Amino acid sequence: MKEKLVLVGNGMAGMKVIEELQTIAPERYDITVFGAEPHGNYNRIMLSPLLAGEKTLDEIMLNGEDWYTEHGITFHKGKEIIEIDRIGKRVFAADGTVEDYDRLLLGTGSHPVMIPVPGHDLPGVVSYRDVKDVDSMLEASRRHRKAVVIGGGLLGLEAAYGLMQQGMEVTVVHLMPWLMERQLDETAGRYLQQSLEERGMRFRMEAQTSEIVGDENGIETVRFKDGSEEAADLVVMAVGIKPNKELAEKAGLYCERGVVVSDTMQTFDPSVYAVGECVQHRGTCYGLVAPLFEQAKVCANHLAGYGFRLYEGSVTSTKLKVTGVDLFSAGEFQDDERVENIVYQDPHAGVYKKVCVKDDRIVGTVLYGDTGDGTWYFQLLKDGTSVADFRDSLLFGQAHLGDAGHGGVNQVANLADDAQICDCNGVCKGDIVQSITKEGLFTLDDVKTHTKAAASCGSCSGLVEQLLAATMGGDYEAGKAKPMCGCTDMSHDQVREAIRDGGLTSLRAVFDSLGWKTDDGCEKCRPALNYYLISTWPDDAEDDSQARFVNERMHANIQKDGTFSVVPRIWGGVTTPQQLRSIAEVAEKYEVPTVKITGGQRIDLLGVKKEQLPGVWGDLSDAGFVSGHAYGKALRTVKTCVGSEWCRFGTQDSTTCGIELEEMTWGTWTPHKFKMAVSGCPRNCAEASIKDFGVVAIESGWELHVGGNGGVKVRATDVLCRVETMEEVKEYAAAFLQLYREEARYLERTAPWIERVGLSYVKDRVVEDAEGRQTLAERFHASQKHAQDDPWKFYSKNHQEKFEPLKKAG
């Protein structure tokens, strides 16, 4: 029986723990999440683009409400937990909801600090912490003109920039002599102020707010300690945060500045864990995303029962893009007589670099305007690397060191695999390089989709592109997709679009119209082009059999000794004595060396000689068999269990469903092989959750799964939706198959295709858009008519006479 895990707080840190658990221990817990806000889990780092109107709420969502359902997670949105009963192991929400737990995870985050000056509670005074605050600021910007932002740190400047984008006149009030004093030294802070002033932002530095003047109708002015005033219709307080520890304190958990946790992220109650901004670890509270994600990984490791990770604190760096200005800082960079400061300034270019060195080791750095070497400096700092040998060229960056020591042409190529590239999402160099290599990624967008690196604030985009260039070598050009092959500079997507827009229906038309560099293409582009032609124009395209792989031309799978494997189709794995007898007779007649039951519930005749193929298929077709397409970029198998007809656990007739799906879809051409399965109950004996399209029977009907892969890289399916009838199963299957056929790249399985385009996109096309789904299904059936009317048209025209007996099938 699963244990119950309850997460209090639907923020980035707590939900990162849940995401990690879904990867490393998806079956261990029944998970319930309580979030005080009426939304799914969104990226707080992206509140600034939301305020500026550059992003929508949907675009900054990390986990929409569907995600919780898809992963079997109970999600209580808009419900604040107000009490924890540690003895009874229960939590109580303000609306009366009660939930038991075996393990409790606190991710309650932090509160914005509100300066307790007179007038701080007037209407028109807001904090800048969540979507509700952004909505209040946007509403104010539509009715008013003047805003005062109290706080010249990162949040304050982002709020000011967003309000300026909405047309407001903004004054930033800051208590300290320079902006962002925690992330920048004085020189960089003043550079930043100058740049922002040039864009229209106003500042009151070293100003202490004494009162906010107004009444119940709104704000009039902000008054300062020196007696001066600033007119305002809106006041935004962005002066800092404090850990939200009140719930934990009320429950009797030990707290200081935050909820105190050990290196395993456990509180003093071993069944209660905590992560994020509410936490105090070894005396430190963290507000940056990177250390919070490190905490989440450790916490998930212990909740999963592995117990080999420890959180020992974080050495933090800050990589930011504030209103278009790149900033980076790490370590101790304020002036210290014991530290040597190596400084470079170019005021005209807006570049400032300071590297702080003590005993030939970097202890801190500040970069303004040019942050390309920030990650390198940070790695040297963390590793305690001596810079004595290249101290003279340290400010010129890694690229100037050549191949000696720590240098290299690419600024990030020589970093350690655990060097963090994306602070927002905690993505290291090794993760990115592995994804680029294994998934064949060639664009920044691909890396964002697969790893989340550069998908938030975007300040690490340059580093990610450097990694792409270093990893892919000459194959990479920033922002461009990989060409199909050496015959063209066009990508798969560009070629497919050109075929569609130009009405091209033959290989020759493609070669002539698109300026192919070779007369007849090559072994890479010809099969892809042939597929794009026949999938785009099933009625009109010329299907060039010579462009197909040898297995498709021979209708059999070539083996390592030069013989072939023949697999007749057995619908849904269900056969008869007569069919078995026919197969046995063929095997005896042609002295087939090996007869094997396949993993897809079929019979494989192995060791058939090439000259025997026409005879083997002729006899099999006389017995009513068609090809199982075990060789093709086509539907392979539809695996089934016995379902409700025989199994005491079966809830639906999975066998019939599987047979009808296979009869509907056999013979179709697809970008890559395509496998299906139908399980008669959630026990999933047919392994539907690792197929391209899987169907799992439930009491109320059927649960549809997509994008699974049981090969070298195992990928569990994503849940597409639930339907009630077998007819609906077939409609959704046809629509999904057609969308995949029309939009995936050649030799791209459904798993990487869905990871590339996003499950939400597939759902929008197949689930949410009923009319579009029906249209896709109709196009699928229209193309199937051609494929199943003449299932042997894949053969070369030169071999028609030789293979004439095969046309008896189907």
- Domains (range + CATH), the chain: 3-111+243-303 (3.50.50.60), 125-239 (3.50.50.60), 492-547 (no CATH), 551-622 (3.90.480.10), 635-789 (3.30.413.10)
Q: Is 681 annotated as a binding residue?
A: yes
Helix (H, G, I), strand (E, B) or coil at 110: strand
Residue in the structure block whose two tokens are 């794009």: 532
87 with 47: CB under 8 angstroms? no
Alpha helices in 100-185 (DSSP H): 131-143, 154-165
Sheet holding 3-8, edge to edge: 74-77, 29-35, 3-8, 103-106, 272-274
Query: How confident is the model at residue 144, as a pLDDT?
Result: 92
Alpha helices in 101-185 (DSSP H): 131-143, 154-165
Q: Is 487 annotated as a binding residue?
A: no
Q: Is 460 annotated as a binding residue?
A: no
| Residue 502: count of CB within 10 angstroms of its CB | 12
| Residue 369: count of CB within 10 angstroms of its CB | 18
Give the rounded distance of the alpha carbon of 760 from its chain centre: 11
| Residue 712: count of CB within 10 angstroms of its CB | 6
Low pLDDT (below 70) residues in the chain: 321-324, 398-414, 423-424, 456-459, 472-482, 711-713, 786-810
Q: Which amino acid is at 229?
A: E
Query: How confident is the model at residue 323, as a pLDDT?
Result: 65
667 with 809: CB under 8 angstroms? no
Length of the chain: 810
Helix (H, G, I), strand (E, B) or coil at 413: coil
- Helix/strand number for the chain, H first, E second: 23, 38
Burial category of 430 from C-beta neighbours within 10 Å (exposed 0-12, middle 13-18, buried 19 and up): middle
459-495 core/surface letters (b: 16 or more CB in 10 A; e: else): bbbbbbbbbbbbbbeeebbeeebbbbbebbebbbebb
Query: How confident is the model at residue 631, as a pLDDT?
Result: 81
Helix (H, G, I), strand (E, B) or coil at 600: coil
Q: Is 299 annotated as a binding residue?
A: no
Return d(Cα 803, Cα 796) in angstroms, integer: 9
Q: Which amino acid is at 473?
A: G
Return d(Cα 257, Cα 391) in angstroms, integer: 40
Query: How confident is the model at residue 480, as a pLDDT?
Result: 52
